[in-house]
Structure 1
Amino acid sequence: MTNWDDFRLVLALARTGAIRQAGAALGVNHATVSRRLADLTRRMGGAVFERISGRYQVTAVGAPVLEAAIRMEAACLEGERRLRAVSPDMAGPVTVSLPDAIARVVLLEELTAFAQANPDISLTLKCSYAYADLDRSDADIVIRGASAPDEHLVGRRLFPYALAHYCARDYFDQVALPDRRWLVRRTPAQWIERSPCPEAPVGYVIDDIDMLHEAAARGQGMIRGACYIAESDERLIRIPGSKVEPWEDLWVLTHPDLRDAPRIKAVMGLVTEALMRSRALIERGETDRCRG
């Protein structure tokens, strides 16, 4: 085998387990995947994949090809990272993966000012709570709450972000005790037993963090939410009796191959300093605003 497309095919099919999904990953249609797989099977002298319970799984014939493909992909990704890191000046792309709320509440103004002051840096923000794989170059820098990030990544652990219980300002006055409800990201939610309103049932589930806070702010129920989000919203109050609980540590991380690139160091320094300035809000939920 000398065709890189063969290795890409094996990787895609092994990861997706389906012809159509592999085609989508490769940017081709399912007929092309089927044709290439048939040609590869002929050249290998045996089945590279077999269908088990409706899913394509690599065979003993295909296993060495898959192993080689994984190594080749890793080498290509490493080469791409090293090429991105060689720029000696403050120029080039920087992609930051971070939670939407962190960007909106804490970092937006600082990152906007940085982009304006450094026009040669192409700054991209990927606002998502999903994990960005730095090994696969999904991003150059990640800002995440995590208990134990991948050990090979480099950066800085800052401090834990805090959680507490919140509701709309007039929720308690307008909603009788038997009618109060919790809004949660997932069930079961054992933390309700330790909350200020342990007798209140779950109203419904909202898996998006920002929508969860928005629903509470509109008076649709009570939540356990991130202090830095809720305390920045004048529509919300901390529920009487709620205790601030430290949660996961915030990390600012990059890949070792990128750590010495000037533009990467500059952005990491910027976001770290901005987060440290907001430590009281993020870690303890402390603000100057009065609560109703």
Structure 2
Amino acid sequence: MTHWDDFRLVLALSRSGSVREAGAMLGVNHSTVSRRLTALSQRVGGAVFERVAGRYQVTALGAPVLEAAEHMEAAFLESERRVRAAQPDMAGAVTLSVPDAISRLLLLEDMSAFARSNPGILLTLKCSYAYADLDRSDADIVIRGASAPDDHLVGRRLFPYALAHYCARDYFDQVAPPDRRWLVRRTPAQWIERSPCPETPVGFVIDDIDMLHEAAARGQGMIRGACYIAESDERLIRIPGSKVEPGEDLWVLTHPDLRNAPRIKAVMGLVTEALTRSRALIERGEIERWRD
């Protein structure tokens, strides 16, 4: 093989298992992927991929090609990180991957003020609950809930976020006990057995965290939710008898190649300070606002 595009093709197809999805990753149509795959197999003298249970899997012949592609990608990403880290002043791009609710409820004002005070830094917030791979430069900094992050990453463990049970303020008045339902992110939900309403069945599943809280606020059911989200919504109340339970620890992390870049250190420090100011809300669900 003589083209980097061949290695990109192998990477995309191995990760997606689908010609169509690989095409979307590469910005080409599926017929182009099929044509390139056929040409690649001809050049190496055999099939690089085979279809197994409807998905493309690398063959024994293609395995060293995939390994070489992964090494090339890792070297390329490392060189990019080192170039970004070499910028000595408070200038350049910083991409922060952060859960949507944390950015919206706890960080937005601080991030806006930072951007105004540091016009040389292009700050990008990737507001998503999806996993951001720092090794692949999906982001420069992540805020992540985890019991233990990848060992090679650097940063700070802050504190766990709290979980409790919530419903709309008038839910218990308007919905009779036989008609009450839990809304959950996934099943089974063993935590229901420890809840104030262990006999209440699941109504339906909502896999999006923000939509789960919104559904509860609209009176569609009861939830087990993050306190920093629910306590910030005046439409929700904590279910009587609910006990606060710790979730995963919050971490602020970056790649070791970027740890000494001034702009990375500045953003990590800002994020850490902002979240620490909200520690009572995040860790214990305590907030100064209305309570009956």
TM-score bracket, shorter-length normalisation: over 0.9
The worse-fitting range, judged by mean Cα deviation, of 268-277 and 46-55 is 46-55
In 1, distance between residues paired with 2:50 and 2:197? 54
In 2, distance between residues paired with 1:135 and 1:228? 30
Corresponding residue number in structure 2 for 1:207: 207
The worse-fitting range, judged by mean Cα deviation, of 244-253 and 231-240 is 231-240
Matched to 2:64, the amino acid is: P
In structure 2, the CA distance between the partners of 1:31 and 1:170, relative to structure 1 (3 Å rule), is closer
The worse-fitting range, judged by mean Cα deviation, of 178-187 and 272-281 is 178-187
In 1, distance between residues paired with 2:126 and 2:83? 21
The answer to whether structure 1 residue 103 and structure 2 residue 97 are counterparts is no
In 2, distance between residues paired with 1:45 and 1:219? 62
Corresponding residue number in structure 1 for 2:10: 10
Matched to 1:55, the amino acid is: R
In 1, distance between residues paired with 2:170 and 2:192? 21
Secondary structure of the 2:93 match is: strand
Matched to 2:229, the amino acid is: I
In 1, distance between residues paired with 2:48 and 2:204? 46
Structure 2, unpaired ranges of 5+: none
Corresponding residue number in structure 2 for 1:64: 64
Report the CA distance between 1:169 and its aligned residue.
1.3
Secondary structure of the 1:225 match is: strand
Matched to 2:27, the amino acid is: G
Query: Alpha-carbon deviations, 1:125-181, whole Å to 9, x = none?
Result: 111111101111111110011111111110000000000011111111222222221
Secondary structure of the 1:129 match is: coil
Corresponding residue number in structure 1 for 2:50: 50
1:113-152 matches, cutoff 5 A: 113-152=113-152
Matched to 1:40, the amino acid is: L
Secondary structure of the 2:47 match is: coil
In 1, distance between residues paired with 2:169 and 2:202? 20
The answer to whether structure 1 residue 168 and structure 2 residue 171 are counterparts is no
Matched to 1:248, the amino acid is: E
Report the CA distance between 1:12 and its aligned residue.
1.7
Secondary structure of the 2:271 match is: helix
In 2, distance between residues paired with 1:33 and 1:230? 46
What is the RMSD computed on CA atoms of the aligned residues?
1.3
Report the CA distance between 1:270 and its aligned residue.
0.1
Corresponding residue number in structure 2 for 1:198: 198
In 1, distance between residues paired with 2:192 and 2:50? 47
In 2, distance between residues paired with 1:288 and 1:121? 34
The answer to whether structure 1 residue 268 and structure 2 residue 268 are counterparts is yes
Corresponding residue number in structure 1 for 2:280: 280
Secondary structure of the 1:233 match is: coil
1:184-195 matches, cutoff 5 A: 184-195=184-195
The worse-fitting range, judged by mean Cα deviation, of 244-253 and 182-191 is 182-191
Report the CA distance between 1:43 and its aligned residue.
1.9
Corresponding residue number in structure 1 for 2:26: 26
Matched to 1:232, the amino acid is: S
Report the CA distance between 1:55 and its aligned residue.
2.5
In 2, distance between residues paired with 1:11 and 1:113? 40
Corresponding residue number in structure 2 for 1:75: 75
In 2, distance between residues paired with 1:119 and 1:27? 32
Determine what percentage of the aligned residue pairs are the same residue.
84
Matched to 1:172, the amino acid is: F
How many residues are matched? 292
In 1, distance between residues paired with 2:54 and 2:167? 47
Query: Alpha-carbon deviations, 1:96-145, whole Å to 9, x = none?
Result: 11111111111111111001111111011111111101111111110011
Q: What's the TM-score, normalizing by structure 1?
A: 0.96
